[in-house]
Structure 1
């Protein structure tokens, strides 16, 4: 598999899971995706488990670390590559977002900051030093898409357009109104509205999508290992997908793409 050595600014470069039980999360994701892992000591950031494909020395696909506070929920955080971290943070603030964790170096890997958009959806900004992000994407077992669920899609379109320069394109997938964000001709992320039929108080959030060879088999295996299936395997034009929460409550999706390139 060709390994990724650089992610373009404005694209999702990494997905990081925070978990109340890293050992249990490793077992779950190994069971669903066949991931392996190795431990990376990051000083003040603590230990980070790096998920890999094809053995512990294989290409990196995602990470997991322990929750800093047991009262916080388990979650997947999508990291977006930036060319200038400080300038992007200025845009986040000016556009109505918040910086929830000020920028800091993560060892010699890169510089990171955590943010939230005006509706409260969390995301991270990543300026790489020696770690560009995921070493493989858009292949089985790896991240292939990121998606925002928002209570105010129009404002989300405005905000992320200012922060990342994304252009919104209307689509009709499984939501009545779906936004496909693009950088140039390349699709980089999706947006769907949180509507009245969603669970009351459902928070705005980003989730990663991981490519699987068989969506139905992956959903069955995840359920056997303790996941809760929220959207069962469903056909849409881009492929067959399923949305779930892992045993700790972190939300993610899997998809078997219908095509091998993004629209």
Structure 2
């Protein structure tokens, strides 16, 4: 697998106070298996689907306990240079660029609207070993209350070309790398309670959306939205038992016409 182009979502992980509980939940819902925890790197534990690395779970570091959440990482050829772009465009670097053995280098940041994300400069760990297949990452959307800030920030930090969906019902933008759409941006409406912070919603592909929702809710997950049909697939948004939000989507069950999108200058 080649190193991903700059700005490509390339990895996802989450901190859990109960790592064993998270492994049991996602193992059941997404079919993941887990490798040995790496004590050298804070008991970081990789998740696998069909033997291919798809995500990781890790316990919080002392003093960093809090709400569990999925973190999406974007590929960068130079995390230090990306850190500069983040600061220059109104973002905040939460964790300075850090070498992680020979695996690669990372940073954590927050956009001007409050969305937390990661950046990954690949070493021997190049990121997802599969995407877009059941059990693997397939899509993500920036949920923000300040779309103007997100729309200015992300294409300034990464080489994105933006398009706006021609839909009066929602304010939705997509970011492209070349001909590939890699990220969405959704304006959070008043339907989102004020205590819900802006976030990156990560989608994992499943064979059957409804069956995945049933497994998740039976295991203590909370259904937040759906399941519902769309031109992109049948999807649902959930919170896991520790409060981390994520979505599942069956990419093979599509309904309706693809919305039109127009370039944004």
Q: Structure 2 length normalisation: TM-score? A: 0.91
The counterpart of 1:65, out of the listed 58, 64, 78, is 58
The aligned residue for residue 141 of structure 1 is 135
The correspondence for 1:8, drawn from 5, 20, 29, is 5
Structure 1, unaligned runs of 5 or more: none
Distance 1:224 1:173 in 2: 35
Say if 2:40 is the partner of 1:47: no
- Residue 126 (structure 2) pairs with residue 132 (structure 1): yes
Partner of 1:25: 22
Deviation at 1:199, TM superposition (A): 0.9
Task: Give 3-state SS (helix, strand or coil) of 2:133's partner.
Answer: coil
**TM-superposed deviation, 1:173:** 7.5
SS in structure 2 opposite 1:100?
A: strand
- Provide Cα deviations, 1:163-187, integer angstroms capped at 9, x if missing partner: 0121221226896121111111110
What whole-Å deviation, never above 9, does each CA across 1:196-228 have from its counterpart, x for those lacking one? 221123211012100011111111111001101
Shift in Å, 1:42 = 5.5
Any stretches of 5+ residues in structure 2 without a counterpart?
260-265
Name the CA distance, whole Å, in 2 between partners of 1:67 and 1:173.
40
Q: CA RMSD in A?
A: 1.9
Partner of 1:102: 96
Question: 1:254 and 1:175, CA in 2 relative to 1: closer, same or farther beyond 3 A?
Answer: farther
Deviating above 3 A after TM superposition, structure 1's stretches of 4 or more consecutive aligned residues are 172-175
Kept in 2, the 8 Å contact 1:50–1:60? The answer is: yes
Q: Is the 8 A contact 2:234 2:253 kept in 1?
A: no
- Count how many residue pairs are aligned between Structure 1 and Structure 2: 255
Measure, in 2, the Cα distance between the counterparts of 1:201 and 1:41. 34
- Separation in 2, partners of 1:259, 1:110: 37
